[in-house]
Amino acid sequence: MALLHPIVLVAFLPIWAFCYWILPYFTTYKHLSHIPGPFVAKFSNLWLALGAQRGQKFAWVHAAHQKYGKVVRVGFNHVSIATAEGLRTVYAHGNGFLKDTYYEAFVSGVPGVFNVRDRDEHTRKRKIIAHAFSPGAVHDFEPHMSANLKRWVTQLDRATVNPGVDGYSRVNIMPWCTFLAFDIIGDLAFGAPFGMVQRGRDECESTRPGEPATYVPGAETLNRRGEVSSTLGLLPALRPWARYLPHPFFYRGLQSVKNLHGIAYAAVTKRLASMDGDKPGKRHDILEMLCRSKDAEGNPMPRDELVSEALTELIAGSDTMASGGIQAQ
Ligand code: HEM
């Protein structure tokens, strides 16, 4: 068809770029034009997305604050504020701000408490989940955490059993902190540790409905999925096409999104299968709390939501705990 003739396409591209990137700067987002920031960031999210793709978004935003001040335009409609009052204003409950469409890139299956954008839905989820984090519930988690810690110390003792000539053993603690964090969160959110500490290896079972189980590296899967979702969250127009992009960052990253969901699906399915009917049993952990909880109408959480919430705990609780462990060394 003559319509897509390369010459037409080449002539059309600058017009499209003008309408898509330049025009909104002078019209829709004119009120932001006085806010300083990197030049490209005034017109598009490409600058921030590149930072996310390199796993450096936080560092780039921090450097931009050092260069431009406390209020920086980091995207065409995105302003970063680094002041104490800004924190209160932006995050205050009932201020009318919704979570950005950015969070939609983090949804796999149905939305969880972290990525749901609807306020009422968030409140409903929070009410259900709050029970799992009450002081009493957290106290009940202690025996599981302590069993995992004991296993960890035993494995570290084994790993350091043969000191070098200087009398010291050397071990890279970073992966071991990750194994511990995954095992603890697996134990609490899914009812059993992933067994990473025992195996001394980053490995989790991942399944999808009707498919055989595969084994994937949990921490690597989590990191890849975080980076690809963070990048695509900033480029929503690219999201539907991302799987066709011939760059490993995208196709491996999107595979990790599926694998991560598969990890949660496999673990929740295993745990529910071991339960007595609908009863989660006597084990006190986050999954048991979620299974027992009911919404305002007395309905329990459906299975797909259970998978998403357990997945949220895995994502929220593994890297954060592992970094805490490393900093504590
Ligand atoms: C030092 C450790 C941790 C840090 C620094 C941290 C930080 C954060 C931050 C900044 C958010 C807000 C994210 C956003 O809305 O964009 C968040 C949300 C959340 N975190 Fe953590 N977190 C930590 C540990 C954990 C652990 C161990 C768990 C669970 C086992 C957890 C569960 C959650 C959940 C469920 C949310 C979503 C809450 C909601 O939207 O209502 N976090 N966390």
Structural domains in the chain? 18-97 (no CATH), 127-160+171-328 (1.10.630.10)
Distance 114 CA to ligand 1 centre (A): 8
**Would you place residue 137 in the very low, low, confident or very high pLDDT band (cuts 50, 70, 90)?**
confident
Amino acid at 178: T
Q: Given this model, what pLDDT does residue 319 score?
A: 80
Q: At a CB cut-off of 8 Å and minimum separation 6, what does 109 contact?
A: 261, 304, 307, 308, 311
Nearest Cα neighbor of 184 from 320, 289, 328 is 320
Q: What is the pTM of this model?
A: 0.87
- Mean pLDDT score, 136-154: 93
> Among all chains, which residue has been given the structure tokens 């960031």?
41
**C-alpha 318 – ligand 1 centre gap (Å):** 10
Residue 272 pLDDT greater than 90, yes or no: no
User: What is the pLDDT at residue 248?
Assistant: 95
Range from 40-44, 148-152, 276-280 carrying the lowest mean pLDDT: 276-280
Q: Which atom of ligand 1 is nearest to the CA of 122?
A: 41
- Give the closest residue (by CA) to ligand 1 atom 5: 320
Cβ of 145 less than 6 Å from ligand 1: no
Cα–Cα dist 257/228, whole Å = 8
Question: Does residue 301 register a pLDDT over 90?
Answer: no
What band does 191 get if pLDDT is binned at 50, 70 and 90?
confident
As a whole number of angstroms, the distance between CA 53 and CA 227 comes to 6
95 falls in which pLDDT band (50, 70, 90)?
confident
pLDDT for the residue 177: 93
In angstroms, the CA 204 to CA 264 distance is 10
Q: What is the mean pLDDT of the chain?
A: 89
Burial class (CB in 10 A: 0-12, 13-18, 19+), 261: buried
Q: Can you tell me the mean pLDDT for 171-188? A: 92
Distance in angstroms (rounded) separating the CA atoms of residues 231 and 96: 26
pLDDT score, position 234: 97
Q: What is the pLDDT of residues 193-245, one digit of tens each?
A: 999 999 999 999 898 888 888 999 998 999 999 999 999 999 999 999 999 99
Calculate ∠ Cα 67-70-75, nearest 5°. 75
Residue 33 vs residues 27, 75, 77, 254, 271: alpha-carbon distances, Å = 10, 11, 10, 35, 53
- Is 126 close to ligand 1, i.e. is its CB under 6 Å away? yes
In ligand 1, the atom with minimum distance to the C-alpha of 99 is 15
* Range with the largest mean pLDDT of 95-104, 233-242, 280-289: 233-242
Give me the mean pLDDT over the 276-300 stretch.
73
User: Looking at beta carbons, which pairs linking 52-57 to residues 24 or more positions away fall under 8 Å?
Assistant: 52/227, 52/230, 52/231, 52/233, 52/234, 53/227, 53/231, 53/249, 55/223, 55/227, 57/230
Q: At what angle do helices 303-328 and 218-234 cross, to 10 degrees?
A: 110
Q: 317 alpha carbon to ligand 1 midpoint, in Å?
A: 7
Distance 253 CA to ligand 1 centre (A): 22
Q: Has residue 325 got a pLDDT over 70?
A: no
pLDDT at position 277: 52
Are the beta carbons of 181 and 222 closer than 8 angstroms?
A: no
Q: Measured from the CB, is residue 325 less than 6 Å from ligand 1? A: no
Q: Please tell me if the CB atom of residue 127 comes closer than 6 angstroms to any atom of ligand 1.
A: no
In percent, how much of the chain has pLDDT > 70?
95
- How many angstroms does the Cα of residue 156 sit away from the middle of ligand 1? 28
Which residue among 103, 114, 312 has the greatest number of ligand 1 atoms within 8 angstroms of its CB, and so is best to mutate? 114
Asked whether residue 6 carries a pLDDT value surpassing 80, the answer given is no
279 has pLDDT over 60: no
